Structure 1
Amino acid sequence: MPRDTLTQEQIVRTAVRLLDEEGLEGLNMRSLGKRLGAAATAVYWHVKNKDDLVLLAADRVWQEVELPPLDPEDWRSTATAMAGRLREMLLRHPWLVQAISSHLLWGAGKARYDDHLLGVFETAGFTAQEADRAAGAVVTYVLGNALGASAAACLTRRFRRAGEDPEERFRETLAEASGAAEAFPRLRARLGTGAATEYAGAPDGSYAEGLRALLAGLRPAGGGTASGTSRPAPGAVR
């Protein structure tokens, strides 16, 4: 594809697909150009470098997150939906968790999400400072929860590139981890119960329970409408 027929939109869309399949380590201008049917040099007419491309790709996937209507009377359900939809996006694009730790990311997509999440708390009576802290706590919790899936995806690609069977490596690691846990009574009691059946996995329901506990502990100092009910919001992760 000649450079004058390429668009930044095409490049970014293709970069997201490449990142989903190959991760940050698999993204380079040559591979991207091949997928686009263009020379790598043609891509540079539309993006400055790889870092710029990651920034654009990250902003694109942030735009995927649907924003629920603000509801000051049931703000906890709205916050649950916001967190759940962010988590779903991060699980679709596990490279973004990697990128957050290695790139300076900003853009309209992330700003749109952050502004709406602040609105969830401010409309419920939180002060600006309280809303900042509450929003930060929610996003940090979701990012931490998505870290396991990101690590598993990264390791899977690494093992495959090395010609190894990822599933076998994970089974071996879990077996070794179980052996190490035998010396500790609480962990030993959980062996064989299914509490951890996959690498970087977590017990069923731990995400939803942790988020409920986090939101239950958040409330505006002045009272506000923080009694928010617990009916599930559309898109909420249970």
Structure 2
Amino acid sequence: MYAIAYGVRYAEAMSAAKQPIPSVWTRRPRQKERPALTQDRIVSEAVKLLDEEGLEALSMRSLGTRLGVGATSLYRHVANKDELIELVVDEVYGELDVPSADRPADWPAAVTRSAHSLRAAILRHPWIASVLGQVGLVELGPNVMRQSERLLALFHTAGFAPGEADQAMSTVMAYVIGMSTSEAAYLSLLARSGQTEQEWAESLRPAAEQVLQDHPRLRDEHLARGYDDPRRVREENFAYGLERVLDGLRSRLESSG
């Protein structure tokens, strides 16, 4: 009882003196501190911005707003927008799945898996299609270098000689990036239209069927393939082309062996 009475008299005295009571329970809690601004945090947020709003929405000012800092704070970690693009491209390359191949017979499956992984990354981040190979020294990024080293190892395992192994790898990469870039542009158009892929295909079907009447070869191919599931068609087209590229590389190995 004495402790309670003393506490009450102490609080009354402090109140009369207009002084705050020195107790942890009466202090106003501090505002939650923001995470420290780092290059990794800047790049991560930039990828999110690009995925949500596209390349045209990216600026140092818009990124700073999302991070709750001024644009000048970003320049302490990233020199300019071009450098930021290099960093986000390298960040996306870090998502790739490039398996190893211990035997020469394993390389086609490993390259196929790698190619599908790159395609999936481009379709997850469609903005990347327009900046691949366009800025600075993006090829020297740590993730790009690490993944390229792993992919090149597959072509060495296959039996390609030094020099030609890089050409074989570049051929596969060119196919994947070319096909995926077209897909990414198409899917971005769909996103802006607000339609699903199936809805878009259905809306075009009457006009397409009418036009195809005057082009029998195109009409026959259209009927032979069937276009009930546009996504499936895209995946089949990609897989078919990739397999034909690998067929050519297999033939090259056989002829040079």
**Shorter-chain TM-score above 0.5:** yes
| Matching of residue 150 in structure 1 with residue 184 in structure 2 | yes
Amino acid at match of 1:82: S
CA distance in 2 between partners of 1:40 and 1:176 (Å): 49
- TM-score, normalised via structure 2 length: 0.72
Q: Corresponding residue for 2:11?
A: none
With structure 1 as the length reference, what TM-score do the two structures score?
A: 0.77
CA contact (8 A) 1:18 1:27 kept: yes
Contact kept, 8 Å, 2:59 with 2:81, in 1: the verdict is yes
Higher relative contact order (CA 8 A, sep 6+): 1
Matches within 5 A, 1:94-109: 94-100=126-132, 102-104=134-136, 105-106=138-139, 107-109=141-143
| 2:116 matches 1:84 | yes
TM-aligned CA distance change 1:174 to 1:147, over 3 Å? farther
Match status 1:9 vs 2:40: yes
Asked if the contact 1:79/1:117 (under 8 Å) is kept, the reply is yes
| Within-5 A mapping of 1:48-59 | 48-59=79-90
Give unmatched runs, 5+ long, in structure 1: 224-238
Aligned-residue offset at 1:145: 2.0
8 A contact 2:46–2:88 mirrored in 1: yes
By percentage of residues, which structure has more helix? 2
Q: 1:36 aligns with which of 56, 67, 77?
A: 67
Aligned length: 217
Whichever of the two has the greater Rg, that structure is: 2
For residues 1-238 of structure 1, what are the structure 2 equivalents within 5 Å? 5-73=36-104, 74-100=106-132, 102-104=134-136, 105-106=138-139, 107-156=141-190, 159=192, 165-166=194-195, 176-189=207-220, 190=222, 194-195=226-227, 198=230, 202-203=233-234, 205-218=236-249, 219-220=252-253, 221-223=255-257
How far the C-alpha of 1:191 sits from its partner, in A, is 5.4
Contact in 2 for aligned 1:174/1:198 (Cα 8 Å): no
For residues 187 and 76 of structure 1, the distance between their equivalents in structure 2, rounded to whole angstroms, comes to: 32
- Aligned partner of 2:135: which letter? H
Provide the rounded CA distance (Å) in 2 between the counterparts of 1:5 and 1:213. 49
User: Could you tell me whether the CA contact under 8 Å between 2:122 and 2:181 is conserved in 1?
Assistant: no
Task: State the shift of 1:180 in Å.
Answer: 3.8
What is the aligned-residue RMSD (CA, Å)? 3.0
Q: Which amino acid aligns with 1:50?
A: K
Q: Could you tell which deviates more after superposition, 182-191 or 8-17?
A: 182-191
Deviations 1:78-134 (A, max 9, x none): 111221221221121111111116434321211222222221111222112321221
* Residue 197 (structure 1) shift: 5.8
Q: Is the 8 A contact 1:29 1:43 kept in 2?
A: yes
Contact 1:83-1:139 at 8 Å conserved across structures? yes
Relative distance call for 1:32 and 1:179 in structure 2 (3 A) is: farther
Cα contact 1:195–1:203 (8 A) shared by 2: no
Q: Does the 8 Å contact 2:90/2:142 carry over to 1? A: yes
3-state SS of 1:205 partner: helix
Q: 8 Å contact 1:12–1:57 — kept in the other structure?
A: yes
